[in-house]
Amino acid sequence: MLSYVLKRLLWTIPTLFGVTLLVFSMVHLTPGDPAAAILGDKANARSVADLRAKMGLDKPLYQQYFIYINHLAHGDFGRSANSNEEVMTEFLDRFPATVELSLVAMLIAVFFGIGAGIISAVKRYSIFDYGSMFGALAGVSMPVFWLGLMLIYFFSVKLGWLPVSGRLGYEFDIEHVTGLYLVDSLIAHDYAAFWDALKHLILPAIALGTIPMAIIARMTRSSMIEVMKEEYIKTARAKGCTRFQVIFIHALRNAMMPVITVIGLMLGSLFAGAILTETTFSWPGIGKWLVNAVYQRDFAIIQSTTLIIAIVFIIINFIVDLLYAFINPKIRLS
């Protein structure tokens, strides 16, 4: 197991190097002068040249890349060109909001996706099977921003059940211990704030979790159908195991292998999908912050945030690989 973990860790090194190179190249090869964009149309040529020199943009690209890598190695992610705040400080202020939204969205996706997939596989070709798979297809095909707008229109504007945007009502003030409002409100024993934070989370979490839920449901169904055909399932039935034991003990554990992989990939992709969701619901996370940085051509924020999201994605995939090896020991030997 140790050798398997070490191999996976070593593979992350070239991956990280490739990510830094890709992020640096994509940002710096985009048309336009970031110094001129920051200073505005009324800036003179001397001011633009001075800012370019200060930002190191007057050096060749390969020198800029090595400077960029050197700063990253020392934990320096740069400063925002607009606010002059350290990028990491601003990132950490907003990251808990994105984490909370992504985790709640994934909980919704996993709970309903796996449940729908199991029932569809057990009741194959039933009305529920056709209905859930049609819903899964619609969920995959539906744009996140359109679904978000429809949810706002029906549940906020028409029915008035849930808030339109934000994380917490202005009447609440809780101490930020973890940055996760659901957790912080429970720590403070402020259950009214907890309920208000939960209401603010419901619509964006549903919008963000719809596509992962649909994919997980389809993957669970197909995997369960394949497993239910295996000989050991017939043996379990012949031994007198109950229907619950056959489905949830013998079949589900073996069917979860590809599902776990999909869940890991979906959890990483939620950070990218959160950009549209946070913009639609004015959610104060890194997605909305990154969109504003793109409009303002704030290179430090774009580079650092994209890189950090990629690192989070790599870490999640590494954890999924470990879970894969834990569930199926044969993988360690392959």
Q: What is the pLDDT along the chain (334 residues), one digit of tens a residue?
A: 667 677 777 777 788 788 888 877 776 666 666 666 666 667 777 777 777 777 677 777 777 788 778 877 777 777 777 777 888 888 888 888 888 888 899 899 899 988 888 888 888 888 888 888 887 777 777 778 888 888 888 888 888 888 888 888 888 888 888 888 888 888 888 888 899 889 989 999 988 888 888 888 888 888 888 888 877 777 877 877 777 777 777 788 778 878 887 887 777 777 666 777 888 888 888 877 888 887 777 777 887 888 887 887 778 777 777 776 666 665 555 5
What pTM, to 2 d.p., does this model score? 0.78
Cα–Cα dist 285/96, whole Å? 7
Q: Directed axis angle between helix 2-28 and helix 299-327, to 10°?
A: 160
Which tokens hold the place of 114? 């796996």
The torsion defined by the Cα of 322, 323, 326 and 330, in degrees rounded to 10, comes to -80
Q: Directed axis angle between helix 2-28 and helix 61-73, to 10°?
A: 140
Cα–Cα dist 292/215, whole Å? 30
In the prediction, which pLDDT does 4 show?
Answer: 67
In the prediction, which pLDDT does 137 show?
Answer: 79
List the one residue out of 7, 145, 206, 321 whose CA is nearest residue 198: 206
In the prediction, which pLDDT does 72 show?
Answer: 79
Annotated domain spans of the chain: 2-73, 87-333
- What's the CATH architecture for 87-333? Orthogonal Bundle (1.10)
